[in-house]
Amino acid sequence: PMGAPMGAPMGAPMGAPMGAAKMGGMPGMGQLLGMAMGAPAARAMGAPMGGPMAPAMGAPAGMAMGVPMGGPMAPAMGAPMVAPRQMAMIQAADAYNMLALMPAVKIEEKMNVLETAMGVLGDLVGQDMDFNMANKYVINTPEGHPFLFAVEQSDCLNRNCCPDCRAIDIDVVVLGQDQRLYNQATGAVDWSFNPLGNGIDLSYSQKFMSMHKEFQVTCCCFNRPIINVTDPSGQLIGRIRDPWACCDMNFTIEDPHGEEILKARGGCCQPGLICPCPFGPCREVHFDVDDAKSGTKVGKLKKIVPDCLKFIIADNVDNYEVEFGHVQNPHWKALLIALGLFIDFRYFNERSDKNRDDDDVVFDE
C-alpha cells in the first residue's frame, strides 16, 4: 500500500499479477521472477524476511532492483505479464533463487544443420563423415519457458580428434539480456556453420555457471573423468565424477570440499539402451538420483529421444528431464543440471554408425 514504511512486504510478490498470491499450483515464469526478487528469495538465501535484496550473481549493481539500467519500469500491478517482458527482467533476479523454486527443468539439445547434413551425407555414400560442432542446450522451466542456455566452448580439435579423452568447456548463461542470443537459443535448429567456434557471443549475458573437464586418457578404471562446476565468480560449486562400473552408468556428485552429496545410477538393461527408438519405453533412459549418505532416492533424471525425424537424421541429439524431487539447495540443483549435460557428453554424444553392423553398446565406454 502507498505510504507503507520501507521494507514492509507487499500483498503479492513484486512483478506478479494481481491475485497471484492466491493462485495454487506451480507458479509461472512471472510469478517465479517476482518470488525470486521478493521475500521467498530472502528465505532461499538465508536472509531475513523484508531485508535488502542482494544483487544478482554476476549482474551490475544497478540492476539489483529489478529494472535494467536505462530500461523501462516494470508494468503496473495487475497488468498482464507477457513472455518477452518476463525474459527481459530475468537479468535483474538472482537465477539461483529462481532455480530454488523450480521442481524440475527440461534440457533440449539443439540440432546443428551442418553436423546433421554431413552425417546424413555419410550415411548415403557409405562413409564415416561425422563432424562434431559445438553442442548447445536450452534449459527450460517445467512450463517450457527458456531459462538458461548452455554453449560448448571446446575447440574443434578436441571435439573431433579426442572423443573419449577430450577436454570439455561449457558456459551456461541466463537468457533475457540479449535478444539476439534469445532468438538463437529458441530457434528450431542451430544454424552455426563455423567449425572453429560455436558462433555464439555470450559477452552480453549474465553467466550462471561454467563446466570444465581436463583432457584425460581414460581406460576402464584408470583415470576416470572428472568435471568441475563453478559459479560466475569462479568459485567451485562441486565436481561430478564418472567412476568405473562393469555395465551401469554411475556418477557421483561432490560438494566443493570433496564430500559426496549425491549419486546417480543408470542401469544397463533398459530398453532405451538396448534398442533405442522414438516410441514407448525404448524412447527413455532413466537415472535415479540418491542421497550419498542415506541412499534414499531424492530425484531422477531422464534422457528422451525427441522425435522420429531427429532420431532418423541426428540420433545423437537428445532431450533430458531433471526432476529435483527432495533436492532443495539451488547449487545442488545446478549440479544436477550439469550432470544432465555431462551424461550427454559421456554416453550420448556420438552419432550411431549406420554403415557398420557391429555397433558398440553405449555403456561399454
Strand partners, 96: none
Q: What is the mean pLDDT of residues 17-21?
A: 39
Strands of 117-160, DSSP E: 136-140, 146-152
pLDDT tens, residue by residue, 63-112:
443 434 434 344 444 444 444 444 444 543 589 999 999 999 999 999 99
Residues 103, 101: Cα–Cα separation, whole Å: 7
pLDDT tops 80 at residue 319 = yes
- pLDDT score at 258: 94
Record the cell numbers describing residue 83, joined without a space.
513472455
Scored b (16 or more CB within 10 A) or e, 57-93 reads bbbeeebbebbbeeeeebeeeeeebeeebbbbbbbbb
258 near 271, Cβ under 8 Å?
no
Strand partners, 299: 289
Confidence of residue 364 (pLDDT cuts 50, 70, 90): very low
Q: Phi and psi of 17, rounded to 5°?
A: -70, 160
Question: Counting beta carbons within 10 angstroms of the beta carbon of residue 145, is it exposed (0 to 12), middle (13 to 18) or buried (19 or more)?
Answer: middle
Whether the full predicted model's pTM is greater than 0.85, yes or no, is no
**Is 10 or 146 the better-scoring residue by pLDDT?**
146
Give the chain's end-to-end CA distance (angstroms, integer).
62
**Is 174 or 1 the better-scoring residue by pLDDT?**
174
- pLDDT score at 28: 63
3-state secondary structure of 309: helix
Q: Identity (one letter) of the amino acid at 82?
A: V
Q: Identity (one letter) of the amino acid at 192?
A: S
pLDDT tens, residue by residue, 262-316:
999 999 999 999 999 999 999 999 999 999 999 999 999 999 999 999 999 999 9
pLDDT tops 90 at residue 16 = no
Q: 187: which residues sit within 8 A by CB, 6+ positions away?
A: 110
Record the cell numbers describing residue 94, joined without a space.
538472482
Confidence of residue 217 (pLDDT cuts 50, 70, 90): confident
pLDDT tens, residue by residue, 224-244:
999 999 999 999 999 999 998
- pLDDT score at 362: 46
Residue 261 vs residues 27, 234, 331: alpha-carbon distances, Å: 28, 21, 12
- pLDDT score at 139: 97
pLDDT tops 50 at residue 61 = no
Residue 72 vs residues 44, 88, 164, 178, 196: alpha-carbon distances, Å: 28, 10, 48, 15, 38
- pLDDT score at 302: 97
Residues 83, 2: Cα–Cα separation, whole Å: 28
Q: What is the mean pLDDT of residues 191-209?
A: 85
